[in-house]
Amino acid sequence: MRVLIRCSINWERSLRTSVLVGLCLTLAGGGVLGACSSGKDLQTLPTSGVFDYQLGGGYSPVDGRRPNVVVRDVTDSPEPRAYSICYINGFQTQPLKEAEFANELVLTDSSGTPITDPDWPDEQILDPSTESQREGILAVIGPKIDACAAKGFDAVEIDNLDTFTRFGQIDRAGTIALATSYATRAHDAGLAIGQKNTLEFGRIGKDQIGFDFAITESCAVYDECSSYRETYGPHVLQIEYDDELAEAGMTFEDVCSLPSRAPLTILRDHDLVPFGSPSYLYERCSS
């Protein structure tokens, strides 16, 4: 029965997407393609229920705790009957996927060696500084966004938007331009798109780039939650990590009591391992 229901949902979403794409092509002939990015057909992020962040591998509902909102990797599948968000690393390479990008699309040092993220040394940094570089990057990431839609996801999360804040060689304007291209591609595919962290953008993410909601990590630890809420209202997903809370001298109960925290706030282990793993941890604020 669950499979049958999912097929029905996917068929309806595919039909809506097909109608939207057809309308876009018609409008494009009249020179008004921008109307296709209005987001009117997008599924709105729920603001109540159960949220789970499953980037370490999707798993079945635990003890009857079926998620209403779940985030999974682009290589994974959406959760039946949940608002499913597809994770894509859009500003760094994925581990073992460096060959997807030509050398001129990644940030290099003076010797021409690709620069990697110190926290994730198997990920190289994409460089969106020029239009040709952005086109090359989008040629790789765009089909991944389309694949999320084809699988039946409702939205995408594009990670590492904040590379320009951590690597001075990255052009901020180029980052905004590439993010805008991602938002347009997602909307044209019938997907909502979430801003991942990057408080430095203020309202630019929502008003200029076109993000529909935000996903924030550790905003309670860094006292940033209110800023995301001011921009996106209740459409914020919040993840806190046990090790960071302990280091900050906070408990998850402290987080849940904050008036600025998101309606859907959870505590996870930092490696986001699947249920059943020894280090698995999950808690959520009750309301």
Q: What does the pLDDT read at residue 30?
A: 36
Confidence of residue 97 (pLDDT cuts 50, 70, 90): confident
Residue tagged 């290589």 (tokens): 75
Q: What does the pLDDT read at residue 1?
A: 28
On the question of pLDDT at 25 being above 80, the answer is no
On the question of pLDDT at 178 being above 80, the answer is yes
Average pLDDT over every residue of 240-262:
97
Residue tagged 């960071």 (tokens): 244
Confidence of residue 44 (pLDDT cuts 50, 70, 90): very high
Comparing 31 with 49, the larger pLDDT belongs to 49
Average pLDDT over every residue of 240-265:
97
Looking at the chain, the number of H-run helices and the number of E-run strands are 8, 11
Q: What does the pLDDT read at residue 13?
A: 40
- Residue 282: φ, ψ to 5°: -150, 130
On the question of pLDDT at 137 being above 80, the answer is yes
On the question of pLDDT at 5 being above 90, the answer is no
In this structure, the strands spanning 116-117 and 120-124 are: antiparallel
Most confident of 1-15, 55-69, 198-212: 198-212
Q: What does the pLDDT read at residue 62?
A: 81
User: What is the distance between the alpha carbons of residues 185 and 123, in angstroms, rounded to a whole number?
Assistant: 24
Q: What does the pLDDT read at residue 94?
A: 86
Average pLDDT over every residue of 165-194:
97
Average pLDDT over every residue of 117-132:
94
Q: Is the separation of the CB atoms in 155 and 86 below 8 Å?
A: yes
User: What is the distance between the alpha carbons of residues 87 and 55, in angstroms, rounded to a whole number?
Assistant: 8
Confidence of residue 6 (pLDDT cuts 50, 70, 90): very low
Q: What does the pLDDT read at residue 247?
A: 97
Q: What does the pLDDT read at residue 85?
A: 98
Q: What is the model's pTM?
A: 0.85
Q: What does the pLDDT read at residue 3?
A: 27
Average pLDDT, the chain: 87
Q: Would you call 25 helix, strand, or coil by DSSP? A: helix
Confidence of residue 28 (pLDDT cuts 50, 70, 90): very low
Confidence of residue 33 (pLDDT cuts 50, 70, 90): very low
- Residue 49: φ, ψ to 5°: 110, -150
